[in-house]
Structure 1
Amino acid sequence: MFYSSERELKSNQITINNFYKNTLIKAYLDTPNGQLFYAYAIPDKAKNAIVISSGRLEGLDKYKELLWELYNNNFAIFIADHQGQGRSYRHLLNKHKGHVNQFKDYSADLNLFNTQIVDTHWQGKKVLVSHSMGGAIAFDYLAHFEHNFSGAFLSAPMLDIYTKNTPKPLAKLIASTATLLGQKDNYALGQTDYIPDEFATNVLTSSPVRYELFRQTYQEEPLLQLGGVTYGWLNATFAFITSVDNLSVTIPLYIASAQNDEVVDNNAQYKLANRHVNTVLKSFEGAKHELFFERDKIRQPLLKSLYQFCESVTA
């Protein structure tokens, strides 16, 4: 298998950007509420496909390195920017506000993308790969829609969140009350427009080069920028989190847990793994939240586990 490395990542940017520009097929998918931006590429020798459900703040522009890597390892790749972020449509006049009306809207989009785009271009076996909020979307989708995925790989799935200094019951009450009082489109307390953190204080990754390239991408393309979340998003997310215990998925799951995660609550991942058959959970030592953007020391074992999982469920 080919692994992209931190040491060569900057010198590979021309190659990666050429791949993004010339190999990835990019287009928009019409949905009842707006257009979703998506991309795919199918190598000549592809045996399996990977469909990516990315995290909050993310879009396929951020995933260029991973997409290039997967393509070079002969995976067909499919990815769509979730509604309200990336190059897909945004709900509100202030496009920095992270907002969704209901959490199930995300999984309905994923279903539409899978049936109309993925299944049109790929008839072989496929694995759903996700990160953070994308993992929550993937789990919700798999529980509610008919599908033909062989397995799902969940990186730091958002099955519960940290509410920092606010006790969780109080945060839930505030979000639901604000939504009932017509404040759903307003930023939740403490949330603002996009502000890039310094690397030293970031909670996402311990890889300086990957963090720098992520922020550089968003600096060069301001339309990708996304700020904090609204009360509506928070209320929808809490409703999903409450529903998790009642959802079940029958296909094999692999949960990659980031040991030093400060964004999502890992306890919910263990809880899910314990009640689900056919589920493997591995904690990646020293990892911050964004496992696909971590140091090579963490990222390469993560990708190795992804490839082994793909092989085991598609054999």
Structure 2
Amino acid sequence: MDEAPLYAEVAGGPEGGRAFWLRTEDGVRIRIGVWGREAPAGTVLLFCGRTEYAEKYGAAAAALQARGFATLVIDWRGQGLADRTLANRSLGHVARFADFQADVRAVRKAAEALGLPRPYHMLAHSMGGAIGLRALIEGLDVATAVFSAPMWGIRISAAIAPLAWALTGLAPRLGLGPVRVPGTGGTTYVLATPFETNDLTGDREMYEMLRRQLTAHPDLSIAGPTLTWLGEALSEAAWLARQPSPAVPALTFLGGRERIVDSAAIRRRMADWPGGRLELIEDGRHEMMMEPPAIRDRLFDQAAAHFRAQVCAQSG
């Protein structure tokens, strides 16, 4: 495991953060960021969303460290500083959604190798929520799970959904799989979208922080997804919907102003998750870990309480 760059000057994370390169079982180089390695209460494996990268969660790592937890954040294959599979680095692409599970396995081994404090917990946002749910179904060894706006479905209108399925099904046969989804841009969302019309956060300061990160380090950014990515994401959501919920205590946060993932799919899943709980944040948008302080504190306080309570229940 080799040292990797960590852009600490824009991350805003706790002192002493470090980054490492990992090599997955299928030969892909990914990156992790680690903060708070001496934390007393355990380690949070933070599975970020599409387009995201370790530095984006420096503030989250600080919030978790203040509550006693270390944080490990992953740059998934195809984004951040991890290997990109296409020559055009701006394209959000993965050959198969199941390939992300190789990244999960590498991360779990790295947590052990680095001696990060136990127990391990998962905090998964958006696309990371889809990856994380499959990982739990396949036996990921964590004590508890927290989800933030998990991508258990993508918000697509009923009128457009059949067209999306048809287009993504045809694309590989026509050699169009690596083509960007029509209507998505070639510039990453936060640089292309004014704060006033964004669907991510109502906190201008956090939004400006994201813009500064990607302006200073454009190598972190990706833009619109490919048709292959979209087809794989739709298929993954359909597969997940057919699976029973795993026997892992789960808390899920959903914003009342969610416009990116399918809120109905989240509600259905949590209604059938034994011992699971759905926490609705009426004013929350998609990025609740980037929302104004009242929402951020509510999420991190409840997540930390969930982590601790479940561990106490299991040990008792």
TM-score in same-fold range (> 0.5)? yes
Dislocated runs of 4+, deviation >4 Å: 13-18
- Residue 189 of structure 1 deviates from its aligned partner by 1.0
Contact 2:39 2:117 in 1 (8 A): no
1:206 to 202, 209, 217: 202
1:190-249 CA deviation, whole Å, 9 max, x = no partner? Answer: 122124211011110000000000111011101011100100000100110110122231
Q: Residue 49 of structure 1 aligns with which residue?
A: 43
Q: Flag structure 1 segments of 5+ consecutive residues without an equivalent.
A: 1-12
| CA–CA separation in structure 1 for the residues paired with 2:20 and 2:38 | 21
Q: Residue 215 of structure 1 aligns with which residue?
A: 211
Q: CA RMSD in A?
A: 1.9
1:28 to 9, 21, 34: 21
2:153 to 155, 160, 181: 160
Alignment coverage as a number of residue pairs:
299
Aligned ranges 1:1-315 → 2 under 5 Å: 17=12, 19=14, 23-31=16-24, 32-114=26-108, 116-120=109-113, 121-122=115-116, 124-144=118-138, 146-163=139-156, 167-195=160-188, 196=191, 197-248=193-244, 249-315=246-312
| CA–CA separation in structure 2 for the residues paired with 1:250 and 1:111 | 19
Contact 2:152 2:237 in 1 (8 A): yes
Q: Flag structure 2 segments of 5+ consecutive residues without an equivalent.
A: 1-7
Contact 1:24 1:39 in 2 (8 A): yes
| CA–CA separation in structure 2 for the residues paired with 1:215 and 1:182 | 34
| CA–CA separation in structure 2 for the residues paired with 1:191 and 1:165 | 19
Contact 2:37 2:116 in 1 (8 A): no
Q: TM-score scaled to structure 1, two decimals?
A: 0.90
| CA–CA separation in structure 1 for the residues paired with 2:166 and 2:89 | 26
- Residue 275 of structure 1 deviates from its aligned partner by 1.8
SS at match of 1:232: helix
Contact 2:93 2:225 in 1 (8 A): yes
1:64-115 CA deviation, whole Å, 9 max, x = no partner? Answer: 111122223321221111111111111111101000111111122112211x
1:9-35 CA deviation, whole Å, 9 max, x = no partner? Answer: xxxx9796474xx51121100122421
SS at match of 2:172: helix
Q: Which amino acid aligns with 1:117?
A: A
| CA–CA separation in structure 2 for the residues paired with 1:16 and 1:224 | 12
The alignment-based identity, stated in percent, is 24
Q: Which amino acid aligns with 1:274?
A: A
